[in-house]
Amino acid sequence: MDGALVDTAAIAADAVKKISSIATLPEVTTRIIAAVEDPRSSAAQLHRIVSHDPALVTRILKIVNSAFYGLPGQIASIDRAIVMLGLNAVKNIAVAASLGELFRGVKLTDEFTARDLWSHCIAVAVCCRELAREAGLTIADEAFLAGMIHDIGLLVAMHAWPQKLREVCQQAAAGGDFCQIERDTYAVDHQQLGHELTESWKFPRSCQLVTAHHHKPEALPPDQRLLSALVYTADTLCAQRGIGFNLTALHQSLSGIDLAPLPITPAMIDRISLTLNDKIADANALLT
């Protein structure tokens, strides 16, 4: 397709509108995101929202008492769990619970299902968190969310153009740039679709930028690049390890791309690699 003759923004917006009856966030998740993004919110306010969803309360308590967060002692009350985890971690659990329900029952190709895509997103989320911690960054929870939603645009394509996405995956598996194949097939790529969806769902602006630029973080100004560079790095590492659906980043490389100001060294990557598979397995067991 000739992008100069096509209104790609309109195509992305129309695709998101078409799936709005299928792929929507539950009201409680939307309220949690809004509350956590409001600097005036407190743990007590978040508790009032979460308490209206018994299934989410159960999930939060299960996760807070798992090895995934490694907190000491048994935590039995949701208010204590919120305090111990922090507002951003609770938001991440709510988003994971909601998105996990949307990545079901669809085959992208003969080799990959929507569940494989969700497993990849969880893996990238864990890797982002570990990279942030290893680099001494104070954005581990934000990095986890960014990794978890980076490929959300594929959810849009999966519902809007299932057969075309299948063709894109088949071509990408044979070689070539996934995003370019998407643009040649349906004029937009999953980055633009992801940006449109996260904007409509009122995700943080930083996450919107990640969905829009996680394959090209260098296109962002250096002061807005950190999260996208983290996701690019984690996405590349997880794709190289063959964790879940890996076609979008299969041919990415950590060399020859400007990831500044990301303070990640090969030694840091080697250190997190020692325990990464186990941590990803723990996260998948809890969040898929």
Render pLDDT for 223-270 as a digit per residue (tens, 0 to 9).
Answer: 999 999 999 999 999 999 999 999 999 889 888 677 777 888 889 999
pLDDT at 237: 94
Instruction: Domains for the chain: give ranges and CATH numbers.
Output: 3-24+103-287 (1.10.3210.10)
pLDDT at 5: 66
pLDDT at 3: 44
Say yes or no to pLDDT of 21 above 90: no
- What percent of the chain has a predicted confidence (pLDDT) above 70? 97
* 248/105 Cα distance (integer angstroms): 20
* 131/254 Cα distance (integer angstroms): 14
At 162-181, the pLDDT tens digits run 999 999 999 999 888 999 99
Q: Is the pTM of this model over 0.85?
A: yes
CA torsion 45-199-249-243 (nearest 10°) is: 30
Please list the alpha-helical segments (H only) found in the chain: 8-18, 27-37, 43-50, 54-64, 78-85, 87-102, 114-134, 140-149, 153-160, 162-173, 178-186, 190-200, 205-213, 226-240, 266-287
